[in-house]
A = this chain, B = another copy of it.
Amino acid sequence: MRYFDDVRVGDRFTGGPVTVSAEDIIGFAGQFDPQPFHLDAEAAKATLFGGLAASGWHTAGLTMRMIVGSDAKLAGGYIGMGVDAVTWPKPTRPGDTLRIEGEVLEARLSAKRPTNGVARVRVVTLNQTDDIVQTLIANLLIPTRASLEALV
């Protein structure tokens, strides 16, 4: 388990794979992004996407699942303070198998919570042909070793 003290700029982590079915895409869209290009393969053909495509928020959710299951193994869990940028260069398609590649861009003590650090990370989500389906820059709150020792 890694505390903020153990996190270094340049640290890398990986996660995945997860495979996405048409049913997954349609199910997510029905709950969170009910638009024809995410709900109906036939209707999607006539849209910008040219076929069924996952909601970008579905790709984001799958990315979060892969971050939680990644080899970064952060103490305290993966608590996002916020996101600086998300892009979706290509959509996730039915049958895609996704994975993530992450890197720590910055690491600093939190001004508001000095017993915690904030790591700025970039997480790139790729499909089975190495197309990038999402880039994410997020700020994670990570406890220091001292903060955990203060609790016991």
Docked complex Cα distance between A139 and B61 (Å)? 19
A52-109 at interface with B (beta carbon < 8 Å): 55-57, 60-62, 64-65, 68, 76-88
- B33 A68 Cβ-Cβ under 8 A: yes
Chain B residues near A141 (CB-CB < 8 A): 48
Min C-beta distance of A65 to chain B, whole Å: 5
Chain B residues near A37 (CB-CB < 8 A): 77, 79
- B68 A64 Cβ-Cβ under 8 A: no
Q: How many copies does the complex hold?
A: 2
Of the four ranges (under 10, 10 to 19, 20 to 34, 35 or more), the interface on chain A belongs to 20 to 34
Contacts A31-B61, A32-B64, A61-B57 hold; do A48 and B87 have CB atoms under 8 A apart?
no
Contacts A33-B64, A34-B65, A61-B32 hold; do A88 and B77 have CB atoms under 8 A apart?
no
Min C-beta distance of A91 to chain B, whole Å: 10
Chain B residues near A51 (CB-CB < 8 A): none
Chain B residues near A82 (CB-CB < 8 A): 85-88
Docked complex Cα distance between A86 and B81 (Å)? 9
Chain B residues near A85 (CB-CB < 8 A): 82-85
Docked complex Cα distance between A94 and B72 (Å)? 29
Chain B residues near A28 (CB-CB < 8 A): 61
Instruction: Tell whether A21 is near chain B: CB-to-CB under 8 Å.
Output: no
What residues of chain A have their CB less than 8 Å away from a CB belonging to chain B?
Answer: 28, 31-37, 47-48, 55-57, 60-62, 64-65, 68, 76-88, 141
